[in-house]
Structure 1
Amino acid sequence: MGRRFVDLVWIALATALCAGCGTTAPSRFYTLDSTAAADGAAPTRCAVIVGPVSIPASVDRPEFVVQVAPNRVEIDEFNRWAAPLDQGIASVVAQDLAVLLGTPQVATAPLANFSPDYRVTINVQRFDSIRAEAVIVDAVWAVQKTGSGPARSGRTVAREAVQDGGFDALAAAHSRALATVAADIAAAIRATSVAVR
């Protein structure tokens, strides 16, 4: 009986070790995409640079940070942003601005040998992901005409519904929310360009 018990213990340990060496789920990577549509306004002939963009420390990581309760979040190790989130936000806002302003001269900072007419800075206060419910982007932004005048600033709080619990839906909703931020910034650039004429 003693020898059989020892053999069973060794088999159980070997099984546990083998289970621990199993493969893990593969990581999935997501991007933010431009979703802005031209609004029919006349093109704005200007060059715009977007950046820097700052984001809350709580979401400044590759993994999705999902709000699961009013004061609790979970970090999903297997669903990640394909690029640093601040860079992804700057890139998609720049792409949206190019569409909304009707100009190809929109870039993200830093960029050598680029002389912008306007510099856009964005401070993201909230970048919430709530599965199967909504995303919230709360951004304070400023538009500065190069070399003259005070900055025009504003705050955009965009909430986009999420119909299912998948991470594709969260990324798409964040893209739509950032298009709302870009639309407000584009309106400020248009207003500034009219004011300085």
Structure 2
Amino acid sequence: MPDLKTLLPAGVLLAAMLGACASPPARFYALSGSVAPLEEAAASRSGIAVAVGPVSVPALVDRPQIVVSTSANQVQFDEFNRWAAPLGEDIARVIAKNLAQALPAARVWPYAQGTRSTPDYQVRIDIQQFVSTLGDGVLIEALWSVRRVAGGAPENGRSLVREATAGKDVEALVAAHSRALAQVSRDIASALESP
């Protein structure tokens, strides 16, 4: 029977080898919002209530993993860099936050959160493209509509935003997406400010 003193170093060595083979821990990312108030924000539009959503995203990026484009026809699902929340919900949250900042007198919330009050307007967003290229930039193409809940024709718009990354890592990529969504939010805010 082997001696305990001989087995102990072998066990420590085996544990160290297994630890070295372990996968790195996953990192989770959330989009952030920040938009300055619109200069042309009209006092007559103060107090409007706006629900943002639903937001649809392409099936290719509608997953926990951050999807990175590696060439014109190839993508990589990054198992260790993930979205902290479903992407469509996070986009709705950020655009709602941006609209609340752009239109300080308005009450704005993500549609999925619900509320006791009925909104005056609903903003629907269909993300056509959500492209992420490490060390280069991002592209967001969004079709959106601003609809008065009480009736009337919706105002439809399209935002196509390219934003360069400030670094080569995933954090810089997520920050670039946040800046691109700020521009989409400004486009929607301008439509909400239209009489």
Give me the TM-score of the superposition, normalised by structure 2: 0.86
Give me the TM-score of the superposition, normalised by structure 1: 0.85
Match of 1:28 in 2: 27
Cα distance in 1 for partners of 2:119, 2:68 equals 36
Question: Superposed, which structure 2 residues align to 1:32-47 within 5 Å?
Answer: 32-42=31-41, 44-45=45-46, 46-47=48-49
- Percent of counterpart pairs with the same letter? 43
Cα distance in 2 for partners of 1:28, 1:112 equals 32
Q: Give SS of 1:150's match.
A: coil
**CA RMSD of superposed structures (Å):** 1.8
Unaligned runs of 5+ in 2: 1-13
Is the 1:49–1:106 contact (alpha carbons within 8 Å) kept by the matching residues of 2? yes
Query: Alpha-carbon deviation of 1:57?
Result: 0.1
1:162 has 2:161 as partner: no
**Residue by residue, what CA displacement relative to the aligned partner does 1:32-64 show, whole Å, maximum 9, x if unpaired?**
001211233335320100010000000000111
Cα distance in 2 for partners of 1:155, 1:21 equals 49
* Runs of 4+ off more than 4 Å: 18-21
Match of 1:175 in 2: 178
Q: Tell me how many residue pairs correspond in the alignment.
A: 178
Cα distance in 2 for partners of 1:125, 1:185 equals 16
**Residue by residue, what CA displacement relative to the aligned partner does 1:135-182 show, whole Å, maximum 9, x if unpaired?**
000000000011121000010000000132111101110000001111
**Residue by residue, what CA displacement relative to the aligned partner does 1:15-45 show, whole Å, maximum 9, x if unpaired?**
7xx5498321011111100121123333532
CA separation of 1:112/1:102 partners in 2, compared to 1, >3 Å: closer, same or farther?
Answer: closer
Q: Give SS of 1:32's match.
A: coil
**Residue by residue, what CA displacement relative to the aligned partner does 1:111-136 show, whole Å, maximum 9, x if unpaired?**
04121110000000000000110100
Cα distance in 1 for partners of 2:20, 2:182 equals 44
Is the 1:47–1:103 contact (alpha carbons within 8 Å) kept by the matching residues of 2? no
CA separation of 1:104/1:190 partners in 2, compared to 1, >3 Å: closer, same or farther?
Answer: closer
